Amino acid sequence: MKTALATVSISGTLREKMEAASKAGFQGVEIFENDLTQYSGSPSDVSKMARDLGLEIIALQPFRDMEGNPRDIQKKRIEMLKRKMQVAHELGTNRLLMCCNVQPYASPDRDLCAADLRDLAEIAASEELILGYEALAWGRHIADYDDAWDLVQRADHPSLGINLDTFHMFSRGNTLDCLRDEIPVDKIALVQVADAPIMPRTDYLTYSRHSRCFPGQGDMPVVEFVQVLKDKGFDDYLSHEIFNDEFRSSDPVAKAIDGMRSLIWLDDQTAPKHGIVKDDIDATASIIDVEFIEFAVEGSSGDELIKTLSQLGFAETHKHVSKNVSLMRQGDINLILNKEPRSQAHEYHEKHGVSVCALGFATENVKHTLDVAEHYKAERFENQAGPGELNIPAIRGVADSLVYLVNRGTGYRFFDVDFKSINGVQGEQGVGLERIDHIGQTVANVDFLSTGFFYKSLFGFDIEPSQDLPDIHGLVVSRTATNKDKTVRIPINMTNARSASAERFLTQTRGSGVQQVAFACKDIFVAAKNMDQEKVLTIPNNYYRDIGARFDLPEKLLMSMKAHNILYDRNDQGEFFHFYTEQIHGVFFEVVQRVAGYDNYGEANAFVRLAAQAEQGEN
């Protein structure tokens, strides 16, 4: 199928939108009438711009309330459409898209409405144009696509087809039966694919205007929809029409690339061999663990970070053979401190300060994982490797960060080649921390959906449903991306509250990034006992009275938890113990112990942690 983007979906001027669509690899664009109206050039200028950018203008839209009007109003609608047909010719498109009537005076008489559509189609035929008719979820009398199809059938004109919009279909709970069993391919004028989170079906207009997202970012059965189209032999354009406040306040190129990534994903999900992308590349990347986390530091700016890591039992065990880079290890946790002046880390530090600038993922096949990432429009980053050093490939990750891809199973680790061990340092056992349990990324609200889909499409991660975490200054929304066996867990957090913890982090670090790193251990009390408590986040005494009552915990256990500021949760899976450090440059660390299969993140304690962090920030 061919790919297109409605200009209403992204931000910017008409030129910026079309340039973004072209850069992302789209083949066509739908011109939204508002974008054309505010453009200073002529429709012919837009047509030339599209040709120069390698784009086809596939439709002009929308034309509203075109059927079932009182006769005086209908006459005016006909005259308006005739004039717009001339605009379509100047644009070089042969499709006009019409929305069903939403006005209170619209007639419910389907024979009258069909006759109006037939008259309009006859005019379109004389101009060699095609009309697409679409049901809006809030339509006055036509709100479901099977009813729109009924009108198209009644009108029975070769220049009139149905426009299929997945948002309007699935927001009303429509099934695919009508499409599967009744609508022939040659009567589909255009297909628009949008996703959205499932919400109560009350105010469809507000839902439509603010909650749409790209396919794969929501909960609607868009994959099943495209599969039905493919099974019917449909091979025309799949176009995005997205109304979303965050999308229209984001960088247009980044959002256009997100949109193209989603259409590639849709195509792959419905491929004849499910999960196989071009050239028989398996679309599921084999990410098996977190190999390292890299911090950007400079001069003495990282001293407080290093002090906190040292208190957590980490020691600098290795130095890079040619760069000002060191490695802190404990168990199977690798933390890189990058002070190299001519590096991506330096650039990251200049913009964001001391912070996580890169993640390293272990994979069973780097080439395969890179092929999949590039297939999904990931941008490669070229490293500067010295003679005899590993050239670890990387792609651009969330915001300005990088994701490195490291081969696992080669018989050696990355630090065996590029680093020299520091003589006499014995720090790898530390206080008993064993591995990275999860990595919390806090992102701007405009990046929340695209961040989850980045991990879902490139690496095949599962995206868990969103949940609200109560902050004393608002709500933080969180959802987690995990690989198949949950050896990699990445909670993704955002907020719309100006003073909430997530927003404070974004302000302090000037952009999206890693705010939390959690380390797993076998015995959290041994770890807590063996480490310096100076930087541990203080938990209020009332918390321990509360959990003691709720969980009927032994007094001795409660006293030990209270002494070390350890929090607790329990469910049907098992138990969870965890404590936090204070924030350093906006980043904080967590130590966790999972007992008997506990699989959550202690979300019930988030409000306590967020309040304690807010108090820390005020002191």
CA distance 468 to 487: 24
| Residue-averaged pLDDT of the chain | 92
What are the structural domains of the chain? 2-270 (3.20.20.150), 282-421 (3.10.180.10), 433-618 (3.10.180.10)
Q: Is 30 annotated as a binding residue?
A: no
In which band, very low, low, confident or very high, does the pLDDT at 246 lie, cut at 50, 70 and 90? Answer: confident
Which residue in 295, 333, 309, 303 sits closest to 532, CA to CA? 309
pLDDT the model gives residue 245: 82
> What percentage of residues in the chain have a pLDDT greater than 90?
83
**Is the model's pLDDT at 130 over the cut of 60?**
yes
Answer yes or no: is pLDDT of 31 > 80.
Answer: yes
Element (H, E) at 154: helix 145-155
In this prediction, residue 284 has a pLDDT band, given cuts at 50, 70 and 90, of low
Neighbours of 288 (CB within 10 A): 17
- Calculate Rg over the CA atoms of the chain: 28
- Distance between CA atoms of 403 and 394, rounded to whole angstroms? 5
Residue 481 backbone dihedrals phi, psi, to 5 degrees: -100, 130
Q: How many residues does the chain have?
A: 619
Residue 479 has pLDDT above 60, yes or no: yes
412: confidence class by pLDDT, cuts 50, 70, 90: confident
Q: What is the pLDDT of residue 276?
A: 47
Q: Do the annotations mark residue 192 as ligand-binding?
A: yes
Pick the closest to residue 243 from 194, 200, 202 (CA basis).
194
From the list 169, 97, 173, 106, the residue with the least C-alpha distance to 141 is 106
pLDDT at 331: 94
Q: How confident is the model at residue 201 (pLDDT cuts 50, 70, 90)?
A: low
Measure the CA–CA gap between 617 and 12, rounded to whole angstroms. 37
Q: Is the pLDDT of residue 47 over 70?
A: yes
Residue 72's contacts (CB-CB under 8 Å, 6 or more residues apart) are none
Residue 341: count other Cβ atoms within 10 Å of its Cβ. 11
> What average pLDDT does range 142-154 have in this prediction?
98
Give yes or no for a contact between 387 and 431, defined as CB atoms under 8 angstroms apart: no
- 3-state SS string over 91-116? HCCCEEEEECCCCCCCCCCHHHHHHH
352-366 pLDDT per residue, tens: 999 999 999 999 899
For residue 384, what pLDDT is reported? Answer: 67
The answer to whether residues 395 and 377 touch, using CB atoms and an 8 Å cutoff, is no
| 3 state SS of 609 | helix
Q: Which tokens go with 153?
A: 């059938």
Per the model's pLDDT, the better-predicted residue between 277 and 437 turns out to be 437
Cα gap 78→96, rounded to integer Å = 13
Specify the pLDDT at position 198.
79
Q: What share of the chain is helix, strand, coil (3-state, %, to 5)?
A: 40, 25, 35
- Mean pLDDT over residues 222-226, rounded? 97
Helix axes 252-269, 222-231, angle to 10 degrees: 60
Structure tokens given for 351: 């913009």
For 72, phi then psi, to 5°, come to -70, -40
Question: Tens of pLDDT along 299-341?
Answer: 888 999 999 999 999 999 999 999 999 999 999 999 999 999 9
Burial class (CB in 10 A: 0-12, 13-18, 19+), 131: buried
Closest CA to 450 of 195, 220, 271, 206: 195
**Rounded to an integer, what distance in angstroms lies between the CA atom of residue 389 and that of residue 417?**
7
Q: At what angle do helices 71-91 and 110-126 cross, to 10 degrees?
A: 30
Per-residue model confidence as pLDDT tens digits over 99-108: 999 999 999 9
